[in-house]
Structure 1
Amino acid sequence: MSEARLDRRDPERRTSNMQEEDLITAAEEAGFAKAAVMNTEDLVFQHEFRRFCQQNDCGNYGSNYGCPPYCGTPEEMESRVMQYRRAVVFQSKTPVSNIFDNEETKQIKKIHTRMTLRTVEELKRRGLDENGMLVMCGPCNLCESCNMPEGKPCVQEQSRFSCLSAYCIDAAKMAKHCNMDMQWNGDVASFFSMYLFDKK
């Protein structure tokens, strides 16, 4: 069956010039435990989650341009996501020595972030929509250190990203929709990121 015939019969099974199944396979081959494609309409936003950012357990509130309050209000963040129709969700599962060790989990988040960036760039080369937006598992770390604390302008304004928490996305419901288990126990940490595409 030609790509054109498949596209007419079931257009939502295509991700720009990539088949959905090929996209998921490529993501898993890149090292993710699982990947899935979903409609943004199926994401659940809980604006009250912003209070977790305000508690500043991660130390990035008010000190990173990709984090609250500088990234935008919960309403603004939801509106940005809903400019897109679809998302590819990435899940990693990583063994940990101590699930409560913030430094260890921060390093795992950085590894997940780098893997997401590499994978998305490769998928774009294979035909995935280039005009999408990233949502990560942790704060923007494109720079060695953010200019925000020094009051200097962001030098990565067009490519900086924010995390699922900043967007107030219910990660547990997202994982359930994607048939992913949100494993977070004594020896495994599970993190998620996504790439939004197909702009309205």
Structure 2
Amino acid sequence: MTNILDVIPRHVAHHHKIPISSIKLSEEVRNMCEQNRCGHYGKNWVCPPAIDDLDKIKKDFSSYDKFIVLYEVYELKNQYDWKGMVDSAIDFQHKLLDVKNQISKETRFKILGVGACALCKKCTYIDGEPCRRPDDKIISLEAHGIDVISLMKDNGLKYNNGPNTVTYIGGIMY
């Protein structure tokens, strides 16, 4: 059986075990999805309304007792480097998918990611077709209703890592 803690360092630079009790699910964060601030609401299989509601998420989360926060800090050309931000988010998603694929199938776990899924050029959700990669999709912390800034701050971890950087955050519940 592959140990989760053995897999992570090969794929993600920063990881910390934090108390699962420090994860707070917030209706306000989840409502940001409905306000479509990122532009993916109703357009992606890992975004609302395609995913479970907050009550079902809370029930699911209560079945886990450990959590590891995972994050990467990416350098940008400048604060307006949108391409760098998008490319970094895709890189982080692929790192999380690598972790997911390396963990033993006998281990009960859930990977939480960042942003909308970008594994396909165009998500099939818009066309009402099934997901092309259902086993690979990873739902973001925010879509689950997690206030990521507070999660990091409450656990003594840096969210803002300086000018011309972007920090992408995920996690593993097990």
Partner of 1:187: 164
Gaps of at least 5 residues in structure 2 are none
What amino acid is the match of 1:148? Y
Is 2:134 aligned against 1:165? no
Unpaired runs of at least 5, structure 1: 1-15
Q: TM-score normalized by structure 1?
A: 0.74
Amino acid at match of 1:135: L
> What secondary structure does 1:193 align onto?
strand
Give 1:31 deviation, angstroms. 4.2
Residues 18-37 of structure 1 mapped to structure 2, 5 A cutoff: 18=3, 23=5, 27-32=8-13, 34-37=14-17
Greater shift in the superposed pair: 102-111 or 85-94: 102-111
1:88 and 2:65 correspond: no
Structure 2 vs 1, CA of residues 17 and 150 (structure 1 numbering), >3 Å: closer, same or farther?
Answer: closer
Structure 2 SS opposite 1:154: coil
Q: 1:17 to 1:157 in 2, by over 3 A?
A: closer
- 1:144 deviates by 3.6
Question: Please, what TM-score do these two structures have when normalized by structure 2?
Answer: 0.84
The partner residue of 2:77 within 97, 122, 144 is: 97
Rounded to whole Å, the distance in 2 between the matches of 1:76 and 1:132 is 16
Q: Aligned ranges for residues 116-127 of structure 1 at < 5 Å?
A: 116-122=96-102, 124=103
Alignment of 1:24-63 (within 5 A): 27-32=8-13, 34-63=14-43
2:48 equivalent in structure 1: 68
Assess, with a 3 A threshold, how the Cα gap between structure 1 residues 147 and 30 changes in structure 2: closer, same or farther. Answer: closer
Identity %: 18
Is contact 2:12–2:71 with CA below 8 Å preserved after alignment?
A: no
Number of residues of Structure 1 aligned to a counterpart in Structure 2: 174
Offset at 1:170?
A: 1.6
Q: Which secondary structure state, in structure 2, belongs to the residue aligned with residue 143 of structure 1?
A: coil
SS in 2 for 1:168: coil
For the aligned residues, what is the CA RMSD? Answer: 2.6
